[in-house]
């Protein structure tokens, strides 16, 4: 997944997590986000019905957690499953650290 979070102009993606508070898989995913320190917009689909509609329209289903990776160049990726999201966050953080070190 190296550099998958970068747009074609090498800008970092904007990340949004679709979730709800009582979902156990969402809890684990939010803890991973906190641990990595990565900026992720939290979108609670039970608090805001528009977030649920966005999730279904963009991702195709109302399953949470779902991470929206908006690359800013018109390309979006909807990533489901908490383990896949956590693995993505790890690689995102590692790649950002490497890019800062070699810049």
> Lowest-pLDDT range, 4-8, 27-31, 46-50, 96-100?
4-8
Q: Is residue 49 a part of any domain in this protein?
A: yes
Give the pLDDT of residue 53. 98
CATH of the domain at 70: 3.40.30.10
Q: What's the pLDDT tens digit per position in 21-62? A: 999 999 999 999 999 889 999 999 999 999 999 999 999 999
Q: How far apart are CA 46 and CA 1, in angstroms?
A: 31
Q: What is the mean pLDDT of residues 5-29?
A: 82
Cβ-contact 45, 62 below 8 angstroms: yes
Tokens 């992720």 — which residue? 40
For tokens 């800013």, the residue is: 72
**Residue 8, in any domain of the structure:** no
Q: What is the DSSP letter of 86?
A: H
Residue 9 domain flag: no
* pLDDT over 60 (residue 7): no
Domain membership flag for residue 43 = yes
Residue 65 lies in a domain: yes
pLDDT of residue 3: 46
| Residue 6 domain-assigned (yes or no) | no
CA angle 17, 54, 61 (to 5 degrees): 80
- Give the range of the structural domain holding residue 63, as residue numbers without chain letter: 14-102
Q: Is residue 4 part of a domain?
A: no
Per-residue model confidence as pLDDT tens digits over 77-93: 999 999 999 999 988 88
21 in any annotated domain: yes
Counted domains in the chain: 1
């Amino acid at each position: 997944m190296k550099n998958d979070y970068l747009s074609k102009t090498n800008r970092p993606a904007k990340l949004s997590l679709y979730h709800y508070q009582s979902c156990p898989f969402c809890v684990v995913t939010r803890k991973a986000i906190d641990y990595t320190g990565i900026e992720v917009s939290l979108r609670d689909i039970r608090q805001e019905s528009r977030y649920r509609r966005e999730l279904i329209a963009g991702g195709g289903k109302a399953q949470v957690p779902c991470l929206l990776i908006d690359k800013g160049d018109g390309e979006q990726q909807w990533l489901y499953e908490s383990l896949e999201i956590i693995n993505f966050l790890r690689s995102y953080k590692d790649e950002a650290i490497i890019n800062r070190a070699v810049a």
